[in-house]
Copies of this chain bind each other. A is one copy, B any other.
């Protein structure tokens, strides 16, 4: 249920609706829009009577939300979610490129990459301090030391940091360094972790699970939103199908329905999506043309020496070339790189 308020509704009007919602044992979510405020509610198992609200002062109407996801749906919030960060804004017409190596391998390579990206005009750096690896015997990331190196890059180059959280126990340590906390594909339905980042006050980049439907993905976002963290960014990174020409099947076709069903911004990760360097630029350009809000791209100073994901990482010249092609395309599509 969504209670839509008059433009002239007062703070007291809003408070009264909030109290009625609480009196039903439900959780109110005050959602300010560009012209008017709406108040969502979650927690009900049965339908709620709209008459509870429709007579109250300042209330225009009470609308049933038909999708199983509520706070994530366009029904509840028709305006696009825009996430303003000190380093740049995500959503709302901007096209955000988040770039960097798969993992923080050491201080020298990370700072070198950060410096290069900053010079290009990139505003967000991605790199993992904690790495989810299929094998328990593979390199698992530098952990806390990796976080410290990321904090350095943030300070020296003014880049926003995007890094993955894998374990509830590390939530505070990661949230302290990260400007955006990444939840990986394999944890998309790790509900304990979703609830935990829902209580962080940092935006969350939620990767799509390897075989998640769009509805399940938005339900996972709902877990975060329902805890009061409304700054969720979706990220398509390839799904698993029978197809074997690429490491995963990058599903650009999810972008239009994601935009239709939800107000959340959506990024695309063509590096994991294709698993092959040569395929990254065409898919990056296609993501922009398809309406995505940005990209997550793996860049490494020496991809052939990378500890993980080398074959899908761009080197510096390849990234520079892609950046210029994106800029030209963004212009004709009226998007801001």
Q: B-contacting residues of A (Cβ < 8 Å)?
A: 42-45, 68-70, 132-137, 166-169, 186-187, 189-193, 195, 210-211, 213-216, 219, 222-223, 226, 238-246, 249-258, 260, 273-274, 276, 278-279, 282-283, 285-291, 328-329, 331-333
Nearest chain B residue, comparing its CB with the CB of A254? B245
Question: Which one of B42, B246, B254, B256 contacts A253 once the chains associate, using CB atoms below 8 Å?
Answer: B246
Complex contact B43–A226 (CB within 8 A): no
CA distance A168 to B191 in the complex (A): 12
By a CB distance below 8 angstroms, the chain B residues around A239 are: 241-243, 249
Complex contact B250–A279 (CB within 8 A): no
Separation in Å of the A73 CB from the closest CB of chain B? 13
Cβ contacts A to B, 19 pairs, < 8 Å: A133-B191, A134-B189, A135-B222, A136-B191, A166-B191, A166-B192, A167-B192, A169-B192, A186-B190, A190-B190, A211-B242, A213-B242, A245-B253, A249-B253, A250-B253, A252-B283, A255-B282, A282-B289, A282-B291
Separation in Å of the A174 CB from the closest CB of chain B? 13
By a CB distance below 8 angstroms, the chain B residues around A291 are: 282
Separation in Å of the A138 CB from the closest CB of chain B? 8
Total copies of the chain: 4
Complex contact A44–B137 (CB within 8 A): yes
Separation in Å of the A326 CB from the closest CB of chain B? 10
By a CB distance below 8 angstroms, the chain B residues around A253 are: 238, 245-246, 249-250, 252, 273-274, 279, 283
By a CB distance below 8 angstroms, the chain B residues around A214 are: 243-245
Known: A239-B249, A256-B282, A282-B289. 8 other contacts (CB 8 A): A68-B134, A69-B135, A135-B222, A211-B242, A238-B253, A249-B253, A256-B278, A288-B289
Complex contact A251–B243 (CB within 8 A): yes
Complex contact A242–B245 (CB within 8 A): no
Nearest chain B residue, comparing its CB with the CB of A280? B256
By a CB distance below 8 angstroms, the chain B residues around A190 are: 186-187, 190, 193
Complex contact B210–A211 (CB within 8 A): yes
Nearest chain B residue, comparing its CB with the CB of A244? B213
Separation in Å of the A237 CB from the closest CB of chain B? 12
Nearest chain B residue, comparing its CB with the CB of A288? B289
Separation in Å of the A76 CB from the closest CB of chain B? 13
CA distance A166 to B168 in the complex (A): 12
By a CB distance below 8 angstroms, the chain B residues around A238 are: 253
Complex contact A251–B249 (CB within 8 A): yes
Complex contact A243–B254 (CB within 8 A): yes
By a CB distance below 8 angstroms, the chain B residues around A260 are: 278
Nearest chain B residue, comparing its CB with the CB of A256? B279
Complex contact A134–B285 (CB within 8 A): no
Complex contact A137–B43 (CB within 8 A): yes
Complex contact B216–A134 (CB within 8 A): yes
By a CB distance below 8 angstroms, the chain B residues around A276 are: 257
Task: Tell whether A167 pairs with B166 under 8 Å between CB atoms, given A137-B43, A282-B256, A286-B289.
Answer: no
